[in-house]
Structure 1
């Protein structure tokens, strides 16, 4: 955490000042994970979404702040 903490704090500071985040931060990738040993058709795969952790943390922080306001 000590290695990445300054980068996260800088990112959050910039986000709160500017109200925007860098393009591509919310980009995600779809990966297909085989459900069976020898997949033959599309139903033999399970799709998963790979989202960057910075976006997930930002979404969680904003959600928690909104909960406080909504209650």
Structure 2
């Protein structure tokens, strides 16, 4: 935490001051995890959305303030 804390706090301060989230900051990546050994169709996969941690942190802070 000590290593990441200054960068995270700076990011949050800049977001609070400017009200702008960096482009692509809320992008997510979709990973398809196979449910079966030999997947053949799309239903044989489980979609997992990978969201950036900075977006999650800001979203949690804003949710707690509501």
TM-score band by shorter chain is over 0.9
Q: Give the number of equivalent residue pairs.
A: 66
How far apart are the structure 2 equivalents of 1:15 and 1:43?
39
When the two structures are superposed, what TM-score results if normalisation uses the length of structure 2? 0.96
2:45 and 2:24 mapped to 1: Cα distance?
26
> Which residue of 1 is the match for residue 61 of structure 2?
61
**Equivalent position SS for 2:48:** strand
TM-score when scaled to structure 1?
A: 0.89
* Unaligned ranges ≥5, structure 2: none
SS of equivalent residue, structure 1 residue 46: strand
Q: Which runs of 5+ in 1 are unaligned?
A: 67-71
CA RMSD, Structure 1 to Structure 2 (Å)? 0.6
Question: Would you identify which runs of 4 or more consecutive aligned residues in structure 1 move more than 6 Å?
Answer: none
